[in-house]
């Protein structure tokens, strides 16, 4: 499916922490989610599918809330598996472009949540192409 919905807009002021679902946020072009620790880095905004997050949480025997796996935008109903670098999404008012899938294995990862860390292997990292607001309930649509 090429369309889904935002169910979490999550940020943390420190890297390696669970993120808090704030309900809405502003994505700034070539920067990221305003107020998030990863804004201004190479991985400006991260996306993760709620379907995958719930399955993983169930396997680990833990409850799940958006942001628990350190993702900025939690989405539902859009299949991001197999997405390619360069693909663009319209998310709320903003446009983002996929720049990376997962993180290199040799990159240090300090986190406050149980292993495995799914963003390390299957997180979708994007740069913000067009600034705009994003909130729970907004559509996420693959546009290229």
pLDDT in tens, 106-127: 545 445 555 556 666 678 999 9
**pLDDT tens readout for residues 5-38:** 999 999 999 987 889 999 999 999 999 999 999 9
Domain with 89 in it: what CATH number? 2.40.33.20
pTM: 0.87
- Mean pLDDT over 50-58 rounds to 86
Would you place residue 52 in the very low, low, confident or very high pLDDT band (cuts 50, 70, 90)? Answer: confident
Classify each residue of 119-144 as buried b or exposed e, where b means 16 or more C-beta atoms within 10 Å of its C-beta.
bbebbbbbbbeeebebebebebebee
How many structural domains are present in the chain? Answer: 1
Residue 132 domain boundaries? 3-142
Q: What digits encode the pLDDT tens for the residues 67-108?
A: 988 899 999 999 888 899 999 999 999 999 999 998 765 545
Position 118 scores a pLDDT of: 62
């Amino acid at each position: 499916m090429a369309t889904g919905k935002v169910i979490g807009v999550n940020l943390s002021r420190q890297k390696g922490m669970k993120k808090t679902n704030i309900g809405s946020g502003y994505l700034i072009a070539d920067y990221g989610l305003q107020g998030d620790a990863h804004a201004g880095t190479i991985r400006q905004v991260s996306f993760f599918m709620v379907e995958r997050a719930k399955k993983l949480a169930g396997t680990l025997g833990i409850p799940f809330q958006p942001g628990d796996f350190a993702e900025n935008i939690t989405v539902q109903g859009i299949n991001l598996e197999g997405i390619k670098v360069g693909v663009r999404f319209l998310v709320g008012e903003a446009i983002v472009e996929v720049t990376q899938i997962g993180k290199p294995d040799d990159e240090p990862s300090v986190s406050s949540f149980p292993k495995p860390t799914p963003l390390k292997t299957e997180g979708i990292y994007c740069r913000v192409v067009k600034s705009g607001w994003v909130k729970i309930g907004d559509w996420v649509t693959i546009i290229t």
